[in-house]
């Protein structure tokens, strides 16, 4: 889901078709809203380190894991990290249990002769609980479309992986992420008001096209140049349930600041 700065276009939400026979989203989330309906939404957040897919060595990841292990994190925030495939086992063996592991992608089915792909079964075998599907880079560079992403997400869900994803037909264990393409890695970030406008529109779409219960309980997170300086103002907004963090997730102390910005939601509530 993307838009140009200051020009928020989202009238049809084609990436969230309820009628799709499969699922096709995330990069992570916060706290519940103050109103009664939203109070059923999980009181917590997901913060995914998706940015490590393009960066990292064993040494740099060891340093990052050490920073996270020593950080004081809000207890009621769900924290998920998504290292590159080749470092998942290293991270799993050294990271505190408090933080869960996500993969950045998985295959459309049960494996087979698909050189270079990773199956959901393999991810579960090494201890992953989450997987990201529908990232803008997978769409725009690799060429994955809604139907293909949907099938991948649906299969991951069938294998009991939780999915950070767009376009879903089964909303259990789903987190939705909004990430303006123009904000990815550019240092530009949507204003809190812009982000809230889109998140509220997504939640309204869910209410009208899926159900009020799904709209209330689904966590919608923001991604796109989130950092320790701008997270607090974003976190205060009613419909921003957390963050998908890229470059800032490579800095352990700053990532902890972003995680702990969940306290801003408590104050706002």
* Dist CA 29 CA 161 (whole Å): 17
Residues written for the chain: 269
In this structure, are residues 240 and 196 in contact, taking their beta carbons and an 8 Å threshold?
Answer: yes
Query: Distance of CA 208 to CAs 81, 200, 202, 212, 213, Å?
Result: 32, 12, 10, 7, 11
117 is catalytic: no
Classify burial at 59, counting beta carbons within 10 Å of its beta carbon; exposed 0-12, middle 13-18, buried 19 or more.
exposed
* Dist CA 228 CA 225 (whole Å): 10
135 is catalytic: yes
* Dist CA 19 CA 172 (whole Å): 16
Single out the residue of 106, 162, 157 nearest to residue 130, CA to CA.
162
Which tokens belong to 95?
A: 């990271």
Q: Which of 100, 179, 238, 264 is catalytic?
A: 179
Q: Which of 135, 199, 217, 238 is catalytic?
A: 135
Residues marked active site are found at: 135, 179
């Amino acid at each position: 889901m993307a838009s140009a700065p200051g020009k928020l276009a989202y009238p049809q939400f084609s990436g969230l078709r309820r009628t799709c026979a499969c699922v096709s989203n995330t990069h992570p989330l916060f706290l519940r809203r103050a109103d009664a309906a939203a109070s059923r939404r999980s009181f917590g957040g997901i913060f995914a380190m998706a940015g490590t897919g393009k960066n990292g060595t064993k040494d740099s990841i060891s340093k990052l894991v050490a920073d996270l292990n020593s950080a004081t994190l809000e207890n009621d925030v769900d924290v998920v990290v998504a290292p590159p495939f080749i470092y998942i086992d290293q991270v799993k063996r050294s990271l505190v249990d408090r933080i869960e592991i996500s993969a950045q992608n998985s295959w459309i089915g049960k494996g087979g002769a698909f050189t270079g792909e990773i199956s959901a079964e393999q991810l579960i075998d090494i201890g992953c609980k989450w997987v990201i599907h529908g990232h803008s880079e997978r769409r725009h560079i690799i060429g994955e479309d809604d139907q293909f992403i949907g099938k991948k997400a649906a299969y991951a869900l069938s294998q009991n992986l939780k999915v950070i994803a767009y376009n879903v037909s089964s909303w259990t264990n789903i987190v939705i992420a909004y990430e303006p393409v123009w904000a990815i890695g550019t240092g530009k970030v949507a204003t809190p008001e812009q982000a809230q406008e889109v998140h509220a529109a997504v939640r309204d779409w869910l209410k009208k096209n899926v159900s009020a219960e799904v709209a209330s309980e689904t966590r919608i997170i923001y991604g796109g140049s989130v950092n320790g300086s701008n997270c607090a103002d974003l976190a205060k907004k009613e419909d921003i349930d957390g963050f998908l963090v890229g470059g800032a997730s490579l800095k352990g102390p700053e990532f902890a600041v972003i995680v702990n910005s969940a306290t801003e939601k408590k104050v706002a509530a």
